[in-house]
Amino acid sequence: MFWTFLTSTIKFSTLFLYGSVGETITEKSGHLNLGIPGIMCLGAIGGCYGVRSYIDSLGSLSQMSGFAVVVVGIICAFLFAALGGMIFSFFTVTLRCNQNITGLTITTFGVALNSLMLSKLDTRGFYEAGRLFAKGIVDANTTDGLVKVLFSQSALVYIAIATAIITAIVIKRTRVGLNLRAVGENPATADAAGISVGKYRYLATLIGSGIAGLGGLFFIMDFLTGNIEYGIDTYGWLAVALVIFTIWKPNWAILGSIIFAALYRMPIYLNIGQMEREIIKMLPYIVTVLVLIITSIFGRKSVQPPAALGTTYFREER
Amino acid sequence: MRSVTGKVSKFDAFVDKLKKESPIHISKRMDAPKWLPIVIRIAAVVVAFLVCAIVTVFFEPTAFGTFFTEMFKGTFGTERRVINLFWEAAILLLIALAVTPAFKMKFWNIGAEGQVLMGSLMSATCIFYLGGKMSEGGLIVLCLLASMVGGAIWTLIPALFKAKWNTNETLFTLMLNYIATAIISTIIAVWVKTGSHVMGIMPNGHLPKIGGEDYILNILIVALITVLVWVYLKFSKHGYELSVVGESINTAKYIGISVPKVIIRTMILSGALCGVAGWLLVNGASYTINTTLAAGRGFTAILVSWLGHFDPLTMVITSFLVAFMGRGAAQVSTIANIGGSFADIVTSVFFFIIIASEFFVNYKVKFSFSHSKKKVEGETTQNTSEDDSSDAEMMSDTSQATDSEAQADEILEESSPELHRGQPLAAKTSDVAAQNKEVTE
């Protein structure tokens, strides 16, 4: 029972992990992308339509290759979600619009497009594709214990954890990461040092959105094994909360996302009333607010939001 | 005059270099005529309508004509629809008015959704426990006060932390939205013991109908509040202080404004107005409570406020426009059978275009080919004016600078005294000057 809970929690946490790693990269560049829920939806649309066209290109469902369907899904979801990031960057960097306004509009757009586009989608073969997405190294039904937790997970789970670790290393240890942080902390100084603020913001938002979009793909194809009836927007906001909860550190997000997922999944496994369930659902947000408050009171510089978060940079306007 | 032609060829090289650096030149509009922003915005609305119609065709190929007719039928078709349109615009306007003082202060309160919900929860609580036990008039007033308190508490929390520890208010208020939603689900779970967990229509505390129609009183209340907020922002000392805080916190401190006090005061006002919106939604519109009562209006209102440039009277127009788009697109999606969320897609596409148009209101875009052409023409006719810009050229390109200095050497006597500064430099690079003379002769 415990191992089953842990396995399913880690699986569910992947959704938050993709969203929060993507948003962390974006926020490190100074972009507060409130369009993340919408962008995760765009990722889901891209992934689903990619899988659809892959299935259509095959003669029969039995020809479907697990590797190919996952790769096609990942590429399509990444590109489609990156398109959302492109829109965001175009508005905030090139057109110098307010980031909150643009982000909220992208969320409305993405969520609405998700429910409309997916309702029109032909889902024949999606269950089979979903099974291939969710396939682990070992079978979850026949194993137990730590082996089950560690080795029955699907490819997208491992990719999420790898992405989080790589992102953490790039941000903390490389020159690109240093420049990225400089752009997010003080764009004017970064600009004076010869770093192209616009380029870094564009790229960080594109890559971050692409990664977040994989969360959408994971949710539909892997977690729900091809069931397209549920939206992701609520989880998208939790991903934004998780960025704060893990104080902008992608490696901590691995643990943070598991905690969030555990809080979210716990009511299903506990025998409690509706009221208690609703209270437990509130906890991730309350914990996030507490982290935000505590870091702002006691925090050293390293645990603060990027100083230029949410501000538009225009060289002539200093 | 021959020296001028030499200057032009060098200048062209300089322009080419600039071209490689940035093909598009963007600068802030400083001296735009008053009509220009209005023309740009009207053009943007027209373009946005056309694009929305094209988006409709993408989903339903035969719907291009339907789009325009149904947009108006859905909003002005019947008397009921007109009232609905006015009510939708009014509630958006009220929430937008509530967030505007905060935005003018550059306090990015994106928690209006949660503040409205807390207001409506407080009102519903009063009705739930006191409904039928006191007079209807008294209950309505009590509901109003309770919901103002509810909304104000929900802004006071982030405001206190912002004032004391500079806690990021955008993230804080965003999180409070979802806490408010969860609190409402929890309370409904307590109130409604049946399995559905849906609150029914509450029989008490309804606002009176005017002329047998719902919403009329609501619209009048919002109209009154609009005027009050406009006066508050434009003519009161408070309104002045909060705009100073928004412009520059240091200036505010310097002229003796207590910044924490202004932040907290303004946020209480903002939250109380959101509470009024929650009160209108519960007591004047839906007579019940659920988590989707605000229906995303808290977020849409931010757009309304921003598009209205934080000016209450302009916001009247923007709120009508947004309500028109929402109602109209809903009608189009029903008639063309596209699907429920289509209205949101059309509205957000509409927003994208309007947001983009603000860029052209605030900034001037010059493409460098037109830029260079104009400059060259100016150069050939007038040779003294180019030397005014020689400072900028000096900074960006030294060879160009020496070139202009050499010229300055020649025309020194008849030109402005600033040119003397460049003289020693020109003397040092006499070979360049000589070269230049060769070219010119």
Cβ within 8 Å, pair B110-A289 = no
On whether residue B253 sits in a domain, the answer given is yes
As a whole number of angstroms, the distance between CA B68 and CA B85 comes to 17
Mutate one of A34, A246, A274 to test the B interface: name it (highest B CB count within 10 A). Answer: A274
- Give chain B's domain count: 2
As a whole number of angstroms, the distance between CA A233 and CA B356 comes to 25
On whether residue B145 sits in a domain, the answer given is yes
Cβ within 8 Å, pair A244-B171 = yes
Cβ within 8 Å, pair B170-A101 = no
Rounded to the nearest angstrom, the minimum Cα separation between A111 and chain B is: 8
On whether residue B124 sits in a domain, the answer given is yes
Statement to judge: residues B165 and B295 lie in one domain: yes
The DSSP symbol for B362 reads H
Q: Please give the span between the terminal C-alpha atoms of chain A, in angstroms, as a whole number.
A: 59
For the record, the structure tokens of B180 come out as: 């408010």
Considering only CB atoms, which chain A residues are within 8 Å of B355? 91, 95, 97, 101-102, 105
Chain-centroid distance of CA B341 in Å reads: 24
Minimal-distance CA residue of chain A relative to B306: A101
Rounded to the nearest angstrom, the minimum Cα separation between A193 and chain B is: 17
Statement to judge: residues B298 and B395 lie in one domain: no
As a whole number of angstroms, the distance between CA A221 and CA A134 comes to 8
Residues in contact with A130: Cβ distance below 8 Å, sequence separation at least 6, in sequence order: A221, A222, A224, A225, A226, A227
Considering only CB atoms, which chain A residues are within 8 Å of B358? 95, 97
pLDDT band at B404 (very low <50, low <70, confident <90, very high): very low
Q: What does the pLDDT read at residue B67?
A: 76
In Å, what is the CA distance from A259 to each residue of A30, A138, A254?
A: 26, 25, 9
**A206 and A86 Cβ atoms separated by less than 8 Å:** yes
Minimal-distance CA residue of chain A relative to B178: A285
pLDDT surpasses 60 at B421: no
Rounded to the nearest angstrom, the minimum Cα separation between B406 and chain A is: 31
Statement to judge: residues B160 and B245 lie in one domain: yes
* Tokens 């909003």 belong to residue: B75
pLDDT average, residue stretch A175-185? 90
The DSSP symbol for B286 reads I
On whether residue B334 sits in a domain, the answer given is no
Mutate one of B56, B95, B161, B167 to test the A interface: name it (highest A CB count within 10 A). Answer: B167
Give the domain-ending residue among B291, B317, B343. Answer: B317
Cβ within 8 Å, pair B179-A309 = no
Query: Chain A contact for B311, CB < 8 A?
Result: no
Cβ within 8 Å, pair A292-B352 = no
**A30 and A187 Cβ atoms separated by less than 8 Å:** yes
Of A39, A38, A30, nearest to A99 (Cα)? A30
Statement to judge: residues B221 and B312 lie in one domain: yes
* Count of other CB atoms within 10 angstroms of residue A110: 32
- DSSP of B35-97: HHHHHHHHHHHHHHHHHHHHHHHHHSTT-HHHHHHHHHHHHHSSHHHHHHHHHHHHHHHHHHH
As a whole number of angstroms, the distance between CA B258 and CA A295 comes to 25
Considering only CB atoms, which chain A residues are within 8 Å of B161? 293, 296
Q: What does the pLDDT read at residue B411?
A: 42
- Which member of A108, A278, A296 has the closest CB to residue B348? A108
Statement to judge: residues B284 and B386 lie in one domain: no
CATH no. of A2-317: 1.10.3470
- Which member of A109, A119, A237 has the closest CB to residue B348? A109
Statement to judge: residues B121 and B242 lie in one domain: yes
Q: What does the pLDDT read at residue B19?
A: 52
As a whole number of angstroms, the distance between CA B354 and CA B345 comes to 14
Domain regions of chain A by residue span: 2-317
B322-325's contacts with Cβ under 8 Å and 24+ in sequence apart are B322/B89, B322/B92, B322/B347, B323/B85, B323/B88, B323/B89, B323/B92, B324/B71, B324/B75, B324/B85, B324/B89, B325/B52, B325/B350
On whether residue B216 sits in a domain, the answer given is yes
On whether residue B91 sits in a domain, the answer given is yes
Cβ within 8 Å, pair B161-A293 = yes
* Count of other CB atoms within 10 angstroms of residue B236: 11
Mutate one of B168, B184, B302, B362 to test the A interface: name it (highest A CB count within 10 A). Answer: B168
The DSSP symbol for B366 reads E
As a whole number of angstroms, the distance between CA B337 and CA A38 comes to 24
**A220 and A49 Cβ atoms separated by less than 8 Å:** no
pLDDT average, residue stretch B56-78? 77
On whether residue B89 sits in a domain, the answer given is yes
More confident residue, A136 or B184: B184
Q: What does the pLDDT read at residue A121?
A: 81
pLDDT band at A43 (very low <50, low <70, confident <90, very high): very high
Considering only CB atoms, which chain B residues are within 8 Å of A244? 171, 175
Query: Chain A contact for B76, CB < 8 A?
Result: no
Cβ within 8 Å, pair A112-B363 = no
Statement to judge: residues B382 and B303 lie in one domain: no
Give the domain-ending residue among B252, B284, B317. Answer: B317
pLDDT tens track for B357-402:
888 887 877 776 544 444 444 444 444 444 444 444 444 444 444 4
As a whole number of angstroms, the distance between CA A92 and CA A240 comes to 19
Give the domain-ending residue among B317, B342, B362. Answer: B317
Minimal-distance CA residue of chain B relative to A310: B170
pLDDT surpasses 60 at B437: no
Statement to judge: residues B171 and B25 lie in one domain: no
Q: What does the pLDDT read at residue B433?
A: 44
pLDDT average, residue stretch A106-125? 85
**ipTM (interface pTM):** 0.87
On whether residue B333 sits in a domain, the answer given is no
Residue numbers of the domain that contains B182: 80-317
In Å, what is the CA distance from B173 to each residue of A273, B5, B68, B301, B365?
A: 29, 63, 38, 15, 36
Highest mean pLDDT among A275-284, B6-15, B108-117: B108-117
